[in-house]
Amino acid sequence: MKVGFLQFNPEFGRKEKNLDTIANILHNKEADLMVLPELCTTGFNFIDKEEARSFAEPFENGPTRVFLKDLARELNMALVAGFLEKEGSKVFNSLMFLPPDGEDILYRKLHLFDRGKLTFDPGDIPFRVHAYRGIKLGFAICFDWIYPEAFRTLALQGAQIICHCTNLVLPFYPMAALVRAVENGVFIVYSNRTGSENRGGIELGYIGTSRIVSPRGEILAEADKIQEITCIVEIDPTKASDKNITGLNHLFDDRRPEFYKL
């Protein structure tokens, strides 16, 4: 399976321009699965919830979903993209999984970072694994990574690839992603954005460094801090089904949950 990430610098609030940028970058690319950044069409650094609401859209028949679903069909490529979702009075930091054919999937960020707690409503959709072309996928958004239970839940459900849309500002995750991949025996494809946003006197600088990581902690592809780039590699997702660490150690069978307090 060919998997990849798209790293770029979305322009704040310019949804149509960002969608055109995504389409232009992905034109003529060949992959089965492509992961895009968190909130890749709107930017992240909203002044308040009301401003965020003005850019949000419904998942059902929203313009971002319609545009990216058409693109997925055109490219015969599944897309995982972060977007700003509204449902009733609530505003969610969400992602959509859009296969070229088959069911579209929605996930809402469960763990909100810093001022995101003032801007977004916390997600209400449990971590679930979904099948695509015979492979089991899990989904996460940015700060979900800091809670080991998040990726472990997906791995215990059988996820072989975790697709992770990010707007990373903390420097820790490029290292932590290697740990999350090894401790769960999964591939991780994470797409971060670049650039910075200074709004309302608050500046956020995004660290780029998107990566594809193997279940053994190998970096299969990576970007630097500023590149606008698409990286695609071919992987064998079935390697994530082998949870043997040694001939006598199994990653999950050797767990002692009766002694853990979570």
65: its two tokens? 């979903």
Q: What are phi and psi of 51, to 5 degrees?
A: -65, -45
| From 15, 38, 85, 197, active-site residue | 38
Could you tell me if residue 58 is left (phi over 0), alpha (psi between -120 and 50 degrees) or otherwise beta? beta
Contact 103, 78 (CB under 8 A): no
| From 57, 86, 142, 197, active-site residue | 142
40 catalytic residue (yes or no)? no
Contact 52, 21 (CB under 8 A): no
What are the E-state strand segments in the chain? Answer: 2-7, 33-35, 78-87, 90-98, 105-108, 130-132, 135-141, 161-165, 187-191, 196-199, 202-205, 211-213, 219-222, 229-234
109 catalytic residue (yes or no)? yes
103 catalytic residue (yes or no)? no
Distances (CA, A) of 59 to 78, 120, 172: 17, 15, 31
| From 40, 85, 86, 109, active-site residue | 109
Q: What are phi and psi of 10, to 5 degrees?
A: -65, 145
Which residue is listed with tokens 């579209």?
Answer: 104
Which residue is listed with tokens 């064998």?
Answer: 236
Residues with a known catalytic role: 38, 109, 142
